[in-house]
Amino acid sequence: MNIHYEKDVDLDVLKDKTIAVIGYGSQGRAQALNMSESGLDVVVGLRKGGASWEKAKTDGLTVLTIEEAALKADVIHILIPDEIQEAVYEAAIAEGLEEGNTISFSHGYNIHYNYIKAPKNVNVTMVAPKAPGATVRREYEEGFGVPGLVAVEQDYTGNAKEIALAMAKGSGLTRAGVLETTFKEETETDLFGEQAVLCGGATELIKAGFQTLVDAGYQPEIAYFETCHELKLIVDLIYKQGFGGMWHDVSNTAEYGGLTRRDRVITDESRAAMKEILKEIQTGKFTREFALENQAGAPMLKRMRAMEDDLQIEKVGTKLRKLCGLQK
């Protein structure tokens, strides 16, 4: 495994180059501000009339339309939502590309699944911070950074990797360490992680645990603390010191109970489902489904959002988080 740190990476490859960050949301704001404060020449490309325009201006950055930014820049870093990248690329970015430019992403989705078809005479790269944008920014401001990934799908100029690494350094990622990957690996593992474990798996596990206690007649507030609130404390321990550190810090009762019972919760059936979920990602089945959903105006997603809002755990949780001062 190749890991790059601060001292291994030179910003010079981006000297005299302009980077257009397209989008100023979670990742766009963080990466644009970090790279700019690292001394790189950054402009932001946005649609007129959107909320981001004033925000980026207020932050002191140069704001152009997406077309102008794509035309002006040498590196076009596309940080708008994945499901609209293809349309925006075709309408406002493709025309501005010149031989030897670099188009860059923080997630491999649109390149790996062929929604964006880049011309042969540009670099195609990825710089992916492994944290939400707000954390990318906060860590940088505190003089550190979050870990990240870089990948090169197409190396036209012969130094595409150096360009991606320099951008990673500009965003503070080499302070924590930058790993090399491929578009395929990053895209497929990222989708799998968020579906099976991080966003999908974790919420379903919490829901099931909460419901078991409530159905058995325990107070919902107590059930919330035991199955949701405390999960963060456990994950924090694992994050910092691994399973070993976590098992060491919890009681022997928790350690014995957890180790003897956990495979009755995540069963062979769950493992088989994980393999199936991964297959759907690898074959493009998931991506096709999501594209159709978006074409139809996201009806399923809207319905599921409403159902999620309606969950008892959400109502109890909102109340408790306010009482504890965790949420306004």
Using CB under 5 A, pick the residue from 139, 190, 223, 316 that binds Mg ion.
190
Closest distance of CB 279 from Mg ion, Å: 18
Closest distance of CB 53 from ligand NDP, Å: 7
Indicate the residue among 3 and 254 with the shorter CB distance to Mg ion. Answer: 254
Helix, strand, coil content of the chain in percent (nearest 5): 60, 15, 25
Indicate the residue among 139 and 190 with the shorter CB distance to Mg ion. Answer: 190
Stretch that binds Mg ion, among 56-64, 183-191, 214-222, 238-246 (CB under 5 A): 183-191
Closest distance of CB 171 from Mg ion, Å: 17
Residues touching Mg ion, count (CB under 5 A): 2
Q: Which does 184 bind (CB under 5 to 8 A by kind): ligand NDP, Mg ion, none?
A: none
Strands laid side by side in the 148-154 sheet? 3-4, 178-180, 148-154, 123-129, 102-105, 75-78, 18-22, 41-46, 62-65
Of 4, 77, 107, 112, which residue is the catalytic one? 107
* Residue 257 backbone phi and psi in degrees, to 5: -65, -45
Stretch that binds Mg ion, among 62-70, 151-159, 186-194, 278-286 (CB under 5 A): 186-194
Please state, in angstroms and rounded to a whole number, the distance separating the CA atoms of residues 269 and 274.
9
Binding status of residue 77 toward ligand NDP by CB under 6 A: no
Binding status of residue 82 toward Mg ion by CB under 5 A: no
Stretch that binds ligand NDP, among 7-15, 125-133, 137-145, 160-168 (CB under 6 A): 125-133
**Residue nearest to Mg ion as judged by C-beta position:** 190
Dihedral (Cα; 91, 106, 18, 40), 10-degree rounding: 150
Please state, in angstroms and rounded to a whole number, the distance separating the CA atoms of residues 100 and 96.
12
**Residue nearest to ligand NDP as judged by C-beta position:** 50
**Residue 251 counted as an annotated binding residue:** yes
Q: Which does 141 bind (CB under 5 to 8 A by kind): ligand NDP, Mg ion, none?
A: none
- Angle 296-300-306 (CA atoms, 0-180°, nearest 5)? 130
Residue numbers 145-204 binding ligand NDP by CB under 6 A: none
163 phi-psi bin (left φ>0, alpha ψ -120 to 50, beta other): alpha
Binding status of residue 51 toward ligand NDP by CB under 6 A: yes
CB-based burial, 21-56: b 16+ in 10 Å, e otherwise? bbbbebbbbbbbbbbbebebbbbbbbeeeeebbebb
Q: Which does 23 bind (CB under 5 to 8 A by kind): Mg ion, ligand NDP, none?
A: ligand NDP
Q: For residues 1 and 21, is the Cβ–Cβ distance under 8 A?
A: no
Using CB under 6 A, pick the residue from 111, 128, 165, 246 that binds ligand NDP.
128
List Cβ neighbours of 314 (8 Å cut-off, separation of 6 or more). 308
Q: Provide DSSP, 225-294.
A: IIIIIHHHHHHHHHHHHHHHHHHHHS-HHHHHHHHHHHHHHS-HHHHHHHHHHHHHHHTTHHHHHHHHHH
Q: Which does 44 bind (CB under 5 to 8 A by kind): ligand NDP, Mg ion, none?
A: none
Using CB under 6 A, pick the residue from 106, 154, 187, 287 that binds ligand NDP.
106
229 is catalytic: no
**Residue 47 counted as an annotated binding residue:** yes
Residues that bind ligand NDP (CB under 6 A): 23-28, 46-47, 50-52, 79-82, 84, 88, 105-107, 128-129, 132-133
Residues that bind Mg ion (CB under 5 A): 190, 194
Active site residue ranges: 107
